[in-house]
Structure 1
Amino acid sequence: MDEVMLSIFEIFNYLTEVKKLYTELSLDEQVSILNEIKLFLKDLSPFKDEPVDCVLWKKVEDILPNSYNPNKVAPPEYKLLKHSILHDGYTQPIVTIKVDGKYEIVDGFHRAKVGALETIKKRTYGHIPITVLGNNNSNIKDRMASTIRHNRARGKHEVTLMVDLVKELIERGWEDENIIKELGMSKDEVLRLKQISGLPELFKNRQFSKSWNILKK
């Protein structure tokens, strides 16, 4: 028992010394070390395959928006979001994928936008909490699909941007079946978005029923 107590005492002294050294570091060094510790613990975690198991703090300027998010927040909701983060703090991280040393937003664009406001930025020392998706989302089509899944899970998306996104996925080689499966849409939803686009090329590979043929007398 005495040996155990001695070991605990030694560990406590060691941690106290580490804490002292840590407080003498610059803010950037402190944040970097914290992120490294979290990544180290993630490797040991039984939940390491879940992105939320490791929340990192990254600088605002390292967080990039994407060009395909069909989610829009109305002014009252955005105002409430700012109020919530201002008073309650960040309760949800921004979902990202690492691209060329930066972090592209998959979900949480408006939370990241609030984080760039001076009031919030000052409080978080210019950093934003993020989670990072795995390599299975490194492909642009997979990132687009992931963004839509996050938006649809909340029941929010803008039809016009959804049309553009479906069009782009089709142009990138996705079949209707891929869109239905990956975006959680029905066959009718995909067809309706194609119809709204008014672009005939979206139907170039579609087989129509012969029941529309006019019978000759």
Structure 2
Amino acid sequence: MTFTSPVYGVRAVPIERVRANAYNPNVVAPPEMALLERSIWEDGYTQPVVCCQDEVTGDYEIVDGYHRYRVMVTSERIRARERGLLPVVVLDKPRSDRIASTVRHNRARGTHAVELMTQIVAELVDAGMDDDWIMRHIGMDRDELLRLKQISGIAAVFADCGFTGAADDDDPLGAF
């Protein structure tokens, strides 16, 4: 028996033919949705949405990629650029296996290690990117960026923080 991974059969499907499933437990907060929209705007769709196809209607039900689908539905500029076509791959599995696939896809994404994110921030600062650029392009808020800079312990990452001097006896807080 020969198996071919679904990714080798990407289809451009009209967004109106795609629908969400009723069992996806994954939720994405608004800041991450905004970052996903930005990512798709700047990089395009780099991952297809995983679906099953209804044998009767020919429509597609999402197994994984609901939030990529939502971006197409809610972002007029992306929908226009993509001509309303969503990249889709098809799994041919019974419902129980599709549910398991949805959960596996969600749980396998992992999280970002603090140490590596700290290194990334330090590298971006070294490359001359300011705080606003970093926050906008990698989806961080000011507090998270400050925490990663503090963890790094590298003086250069605080270069644009506006600290002007050390505290003295007359001004215990210094010139912050």
Give TM class, smaller chain: 0.5 to 0.7
Q: What corresponds to 2:6 in structure 1?
A: 51
Distance 1:128 1:145 in 2: 23
Tell me, what secondary structure is at the counterpart of 1:49?
Answer: coil
Q: 1:72 aligns with which of 27, 42, 49?
A: 27
Q: Is 1:131 the counterpart of 2:84 in the alignment?
A: no
In 2: Cα distance, 1:125 partner to 1:145 partner: 32
Deviation digits for residues 131-188 of structure 1 (CA, Å, limit 9, x no counterpart): 1112xx1x221111110111111148xxxxxxxxxxxxxxxxxxxxxxxxxxxxxxxx
Equivalent of residue 146 in structure 1, options 91, 97, 101:
101
1:81 aligns with 2:36: yes
Asked if 1:121 is matched to 2:52, the reply is no
Q: For 2:26, what is the secondary structure of its paired residue? A: coil
Q: Which amino acid aligns with 1:130?
A: V
How far does residue 81 in structure 1 lie from its aligned partner after superposition?
0.1
| Larger relative contact order, structure 1 or 2 (CA cutoff 8 Å, min sep 6) | 2
1:103 to 60, 63, 68: 60
After TM superposition, the score normalised by the length of structure 2 is: 0.58
CA separation in 1, counterparts of 2:11 and 2:81?
Answer: 16
Q: Which ranges of structure 2 fall in alignment gaps of 5 or more residues? A: 112-176
Q: How far, CA to CA, are the matches of 2:15 and 2:3 in structure 1?
A: 25
Partner of 2:126: none
Identity %: 50
Alignment of 1:25-44 (within 5 A): none
Note the C-alpha offset of 1:115: 1.2
Cα shift at 1:48: 6.0
**Structure with the bigger percentage of helix:** 1
| Structure 1 unaligned blocks of 5 or more | 1-46, 157-217
Q: Secondary structure at the match of 1:57?
A: strand
Q: 1:49 to 1:67 in 2, by over 3 A?
A: same
Look at both structures and tell me which one has the larger radius of gyration over its CA atoms: 1
The CA deviation at 1:75 is 1.2
User: How many residue pairs end up in the alignment?
Assistant: 107
